[in-house]
A = this chain, B = another copy of it.
Amino acid sequence: MKKLSVPDETIRRLPKYLRTLLSMKEQKREFVSSNQIAEFTYINPAQIRKDFSYFGAFGTRGTGYEVEHLIKMVKEILKLDSKPKAVLIGAGRIGTAIASYTGFGRYGIEIVAIYDNCPDKIGKKAGDITIKNRSNLSEIKRKNIKLAIIATPPQEAQSITDTLVKAGVTGILNLAPCYLNVPDNVRIRTIDLAMELGMLPYYT
């Protein structure tokens, strides 16, 4: 797996393929061609073939890709086959909405804990998970958790990030509208919904 030469954009597309492949598997489809994946994803078929080819030759000429096998390979590439665990910080409206969301399971990711610093919330449930005191955050080191979702006000996000990084987290999905400073080995994906909505009027 020649990680260094794989374009970042390819990695970003892999979960898209996975989503499509999983829905094809549900429909009991056994084989799929790059053209058929393209129909669903609006991604150019040559791009799709090239993306997969960075990791080996998974297809069969004349037939396409075996759905089940391709799902297995994509999960393996994305390291989703090891069932990664994630924690969620912030049990506000967005945090609790995410806690109740079942969509992460499709990618093999499980949210195993929620932390907040508001005394009234601690001990209550969000989804199926009990909200813990944020002062316990460092326990995630012991549990070897590498993923976190930040759903707190932006003022708190940086100091939480520092704690998470110290506890060994290397991937953060940040929903707070702010930039986060992290060492090179930590990957941040910030999603600011207002910002995303803010670029749409331009195109009208």
Which A residues form the contact surface with B (CB < 8 A)?
A: 11-12, 14-16, 18-19, 40-42, 77-80, 82, 84, 86, 92-94, 96-98, 100-101, 103-104, 106-107, 109, 146-147, 149, 170-173, 177, 179, 187, 189, 191-204
Given A11-B202, A78-B201, A203-B170, A19 and B147 contact (CB-CB distance below 8 Å): no
Q: How far is the CA of A12 from the CA of B101 in the complex (A)?
A: 27
Please indicate the chain B residues that have their CB under 8 angstroms from the CB of A109 in the complex. 194, 197-198, 201
CB neighbours of A195 from chain B (8 A): 15-16, 19, 107
Chain B minimum-CB-distance residue to A18 = B198
Query: In the complex the two chains form, is A93's CB within 8 Å of B97's CB?
Result: yes
Task: Please list the 10 inter-chain residue pairs (A to B) with the smallest Cβ-Cβ separation, ordered nearest first.
Answer: A171-B200, A93-B97, A107-B198, A79-B201, A103-B194, A15-B195, A15-B198, A187-B203, A170-B204, A97-B97
Q: Which residues of B contact A18 (CB under 8 A)?
A: 198
Q: Given the known A-B contacts A179-B40, A204-B79, A204-B146, are A197 and B107 also in contact in the complex, defined by CB atoms under 8 Å?
A: yes
State how many angstroms separate the Cβ of A39 from the closest Cβ of chain B: 10
Within 8 Å by CB of A201, from B16, B98, B147, B177, lies B147
| Cβ-defined contact, A80 with B198, below 8 A | yes
Alpha-carbon separation in the docked complex, A42 to B190 (Å): 13
Min Cβ gap A202→B in Å is 5
A147 adjacent to B200 (CB under 8 Å) = yes
The answer to whether B93 and A96 touch across the interface, beta carbons within 8 angstroms, is: yes
Excluding A107-B197, A172-B200, 13 further A-B contacts by CB distance (< 8 Å) are A12-B199, A18-B198, A80-B201, A86-B197, A96-B97, A97-B97, A104-B193, A104-B197, A107-B198, A147-B201, A149-B197, A171-B203, A191-B193
